Structure 1
Amino acid sequence: MNRSGFFYDLLSTLFERPNLSRVKGDGRTITALCEALIASSSEGASHSMGQQILSQFSELTPEAEVEFFRYLTDELDIDIERLQALTAAYQADRSPENFADLLNAAEPGRQELLRRINRVPGATGELVKMRARLIKLLKDNPSFRRTDIDFQHLFGSWFNRGFLVPRRIHWQSPANILEKIIKYEAVHAIDDWDDLRRRVEPADRRCYAFFHPSMPDDPLIFVEVALVKGVPGSVQAILAENREILDPASADTAVFYSISNCQAGLRGVSFGNSLIKQVVEDLQAEVKSITTFVTLSPIPGFSGWLRKAIAEQPGQGVAAADIMLAIESGDLGGLSDQSQWLRRQAANYLINQKDRNGMPLDPVARFHLNNGAMVHDIHAGADLSPNGVRQSCGLMVNYLYDLKKIGQFHEGFAENHTVFASREVKALADAAATNSNGRK
């Protein structure tokens, strides 16, 4: 996955983005420009109109932004009557011409609009930002979900694995890339440049990212990896300032301890599975001694679920008010007193608690289980940061990627929502279900 600075510079030059916010307009409104762009057959005019649309959109007020997305949703939707007529025509005569007409009618006009805008150099990143703004409006404007489906459909094609560029992030990587890593880190905040250096420079640390050719200076997703001996149970040990640096040849385990999606506008477009597979392949080739691949992951939904479970079942023999107070105040001593009980509840949450579709409640669990991992172990006091205590009660979980069983585990989860787990984790979950009054 090592890529030279020359390759990065080449991509940056090929896909250098214009300053769209400074494009001079011709007086037309953004919706008028959209109508004209859809109808245009002139490449030059289309380029100018696409630039103007993006430039105007970047300056819309919140109210005008809502009106723009309402225009995309309602005015550029499928023409149902035309679609029905062409469906009938195709039923009567399945000619290639009728088939082409039917396909054209079945696609909302906004998809073609977005494709045409995307022909403008640098537009892909701007459209990702546009969708990020759309996502913020979905709760109050549920009909906009139709437009969001079109964005996600197009992004699924534009950002498929074949277009992604894998790169290892070094301390010698361009400063603007390193700044993005600090900004986008979503699991364990990077405090400063020294903290970042400890994560990417030592021989036993790695950071890998995916880029898109049209966004060469903006990572889509990145993963931080520690090369260690044995399966770790604490992120404090991994991130310690004065830890002893390990010779990679002595490591037997690669730990994915942070995976961060960088672009809010690409929500629902999955890169993580491909990135993990790419990193596993690279590490296997580079460090022959590594035989175990695990994560050290947060349990972001656990605290909220536990709060609700305690409120609904106050008679489980645990001082509910004390537990909740410890979580809210970050009283690490109070959580330590309940470490075994918390591990049991976390195992129950990860293995047994499902949504209405039969999927695990926890989003991180869904991601790794769908990738073919198994729940390997649960550690109390593993993340004592304020965020770790607040969202996961200080617990973290190892998801094990057993390379011989990834396919089997993925199929079992995808087809039957089966959560594969170690015997120890299963025992913890069973104890939570059958001995809920037990405290150790």
Structure 2
Amino acid sequence: MTLLADLLSTVFERRYRRETPQAAVDGRPLTEMADALVGSAGETSGLALAREILSRFAELDDDDKLSFFHDIATTMNIDPEAVRTTLDDYERSPSKHSYRAFMEAAEPARQELIRRLNQVPGATGALVKMRADLLRLGGQEPELQALDLDFRHLFASWFNRGFLVLRPINWESPAHILEKIIAYEAVHAIDSWDDLRRRLQPKDRRCFAFFHPAMPDEPLIFVEVALTKGVPGSVQALLAGDRAAMPTEEADTAVFYSISNCQSGLASISFGNSLIKQVAADLAAELPGLETFVTLSPIPGLTKWLKQERLAWDIANPETMKALAAHYLLYAKRDNGLPFDPVARFHLGNGAVVHAVHADADTSDKGRAQSGGTMVNYLYDLAQVAQNHEIFANTREVVAAPEIKALAGPAALPSTEER
């Protein structure tokens, strides 16, 4: 029923997009049109305005886009005095009326602008691109960061798990989807169509993506999975062109070896947690022989941290690299207590465990540069992920296998004399 609902919504959206008549071109400045859209009471006129704003924004150069962002960030901001007054009124006399007044004062008009823009069929994808522009151009400007929070607030509702559709991606998937998988792959580059075929066609290889009904041709995030016997310690071996495919009934391990976010405009909108757990649950139901669910993950911050700490390392010494990587994963922290490594933050936040580290696991130029070739397995124990998540969220403690804790001990770092 989920797939049917997705298909029906897609057909409706495309039909609506074709049948909606085009409005006459509005010659007013874009910011004036935005003000008019927020104040518009008519549905038809509102749709025409929203369509024209989105169309014209897409044609702006970066300077004009930035100017538009600055304008709506300032002129459509909250009125602090109105917020204080309505909050005082609500505190003195809580009621439906006083609460509504406070809510209206506390919500900036630019949120309503974004909602009204989204009334146009196909607008959701355009707004995702608009936020990508905002993130790219806005930098660290406080007023634009506040505007970004408005986008994030709305997107968190529009893209919550209940609206997402999980689809398998295979060699029979539409070509335009496969092209996007190649383009969006962010962990291990897909070099050719033959390379893509090796990742999708064999029975012991899987790929799954989340889609949104409002963006049916755009994957939001996807994960590539290898079915193996045992936990792998080399991505080159996992992706070797001459490897022999394994019968799926012999597999005891599902390996999530690449997870790629596809839409820069959806940064900080979390899908990965739901994706991994949903795929793991579906695979467990399909293949009862699967006992272990792990990642084979990069450690992108390792060499940066080693340089920052002025620690020497030798990629020709596997045991040293493993010990340094274990110490880094367990103890290298940011000021807020979270792990220094972004991939570690993601998986540990999902309730995974640091399971094993491997030297010479990624011998590509990228792998050597970011971690000296070292990689890590994060274990997803489906019965323990909720408990592990709570431990990590409440204490910032990195949950790890005993072998990792032993590797990461004081001997992992060279003595002061050796530095």
Instruction: Return closer, same or farther for 1:437/1:23 CA change in 2, 3 Å cut-off.
Output: farther
Which residue is equivalent to 1:425?
404
Normalised to the residue count of structure 1, the TM-score between the two structures is 0.90
Asked if the contact 1:23–1:55 (Cα under 8 Å) also holds between the matched residues in 2, the reply is no
What does residue range 215-254 of structure 1 map to in structure 2 within 5 Å?
215-254=215-254
DSSP 3-state at the match of 1:149 = helix
Q: Partner letter of residue 346 of structure 1?
A: A
What does residue range 301-312 of structure 1 map to in structure 2 within 5 Å?
301-310=301-310
Q: Partner letter of residue 266 of structure 1?
A: L
Partner Cα distance (2:5, 2:42) in 1: 33
Q: Partner letter of residue 287 of structure 1?
A: L
Instruction: Return closer, same or farther for 1:199/1:434 CA change in 2, 3 Å cut-off.
Output: closer
Asked if the contact 2:355–2:400 (Cα under 8 Å) also holds between the matched residues in 1, the reply is yes
Which residue is equivalent to 1:107?
107
Partner Cα distance (1:55, 1:354) in 2: 44
Partner Cα distance (2:213, 2:72) in 1: 27
What does residue range 217-296 of structure 1 map to in structure 2 within 5 Å?
217-296=217-296
Instruction: Return closer, same or farther for 1:128/1:23 CA change in 2, 3 Å cut-off.
Output: farther
Query: Is 1:364 equivalent to 2:343 in the alignment?
Result: yes
Instruction: Return closer, same or farther for 1:89/1:431 CA change in 2, 3 Å cut-off.
Output: closer
Which residue is equivalent to 1:25?
25
Q: Deviations over 1:29-58 (max 9, x none)?
A: 110111000000100000011011111111
Query: Is 1:14 equivalent to 2:12 in the alignment?
Result: yes
Which residue is equivalent to 2:364?
385
Shift of 1:431: 4.2
Q: Partner letter of residue 189 of structure 1?
A: A
Shift of 1:296: 0.2
1:412 alignment partner, one of 387, 391, 396: 391
Shift of 1:25: 2.2
Q: How many residues align?
A: 415
Shift of 1:122: 0.4
Shift of 1:205: 0.3
Which residue is equivalent to 1:396?
375
Partner Cα distance (1:204, 1:140) in 2: 45
Gaps of 5+ in 1: 314-319, 324-333
Which residue is equivalent to 1:93?
93
DSSP 3-state at the match of 2:284 = helix
Partner Cα distance (1:437, 1:425) in 2: 23
Q: Partner letter of residue 115 of structure 2?
A: R
Partner Cα distance (1:194, 1:225) in 2: 17
Q: Deviations over 1:188-212 (max 9, x none)?
A: 0001111111111100000000000
Asked if the contact 1:383–1:395 (Cα under 8 Å) also holds between the matched residues in 2, the reply is yes
Shift of 1:397: 0.3
Instruction: Return closer, same or farther for 1:43/1:7 CA change in 2, 3 Å cut-off.
Output: closer
Normalised to the residue count of structure 2, the TM-score between the two structures is 0.94
Asked if the contact 1:2–1:168 (Cα under 8 Å) also holds between the matched residues in 2, the reply is no
Greater displacement, 339-348 / 253-262: 339-348
Asked if the contact 1:37–1:46 (Cα under 8 Å) also holds between the matched residues in 2, the reply is yes
Asked if the contact 1:348–1:432 (Cα under 8 Å) also holds between the matched residues in 2, the reply is no
Asked if the contact 1:15–1:216 (Cα under 8 Å) also holds between the matched residues in 2, the reply is no
Asked if the contact 2:6–2:213 (Cα under 8 Å) also holds between the matched residues in 1, the reply is no
Asked if the contact 2:2–2:165 (Cα under 8 Å) also holds between the matched residues in 1, the reply is no
Which residue is equivalent to 1:344?
323
Asked if the contact 1:352–1:360 (Cα under 8 Å) also holds between the matched residues in 2, the reply is yes
Which residue is equivalent to 1:74?
74
DSSP 3-state at the match of 1:15 = helix
Partner Cα distance (2:117, 2:2) in 1: 33
Partner Cα distance (2:2, 2:182) in 1: 20
Partner Cα distance (2:184, 2:249) in 1: 30
Q: Partner letter of residue 28 of structure 1?
A: R
Partner Cα distance (1:13, 1:176) in 2: 17
Instruction: Return closer, same or farther for 1:275/1:105 CA change in 2, 3 Å cut-off.
Output: same
Q: Deviations over 1:59-109 (max 9, x none)?
A: 112211111111121111101122222222222222211111111110011
Asked if the contact 2:322–2:407 (Cα under 8 Å) also holds between the matched residues in 1, the reply is yes
Partner Cα distance (1:382, 1:243) in 2: 17
Which residue is equivalent to 1:375?
354
Instruction: Return closer, same or farther for 1:23/1:388 CA change in 2, 3 Å cut-off.
Output: farther
Asked if the contact 2:324–2:413 (Cα under 8 Å) also holds between the matched residues in 1, the reply is no
Q: Deviations over 1:264-316 (max 9, x none)?
A: 00000000010111101110111111010000000111111111112xx6xxx
RMSD: 2.1
Partner Cα distance (2:282, 2:24) in 1: 47
What does residue range 182-201 of structure 1 map to in structure 2 within 5 Å?
182-201=182-201
Q: Deviations over 1:315-368 (max 9, x none)?
A: xxxxx4xx5xxxxxxxxxx62x23221211111111001111111011110111
Q: Partner letter of residue 86 of structure 1?
A: T
Shift of 1:158: 0.2
DSSP 3-state at the match of 2:259 = strand
DSSP 3-state at the match of 2:408 = helix
Instruction: Return closer, same or farther for 1:2/1:127 CA change in 2, 3 Å cut-off.
Output: closer
Greater displacement, 60-69 / 370-379: 60-69
Partner Cα distance (2:329, 2:104) in 1: 45
Query: Is 1:58 equivalent to 2:37 in the alignment?
Result: no
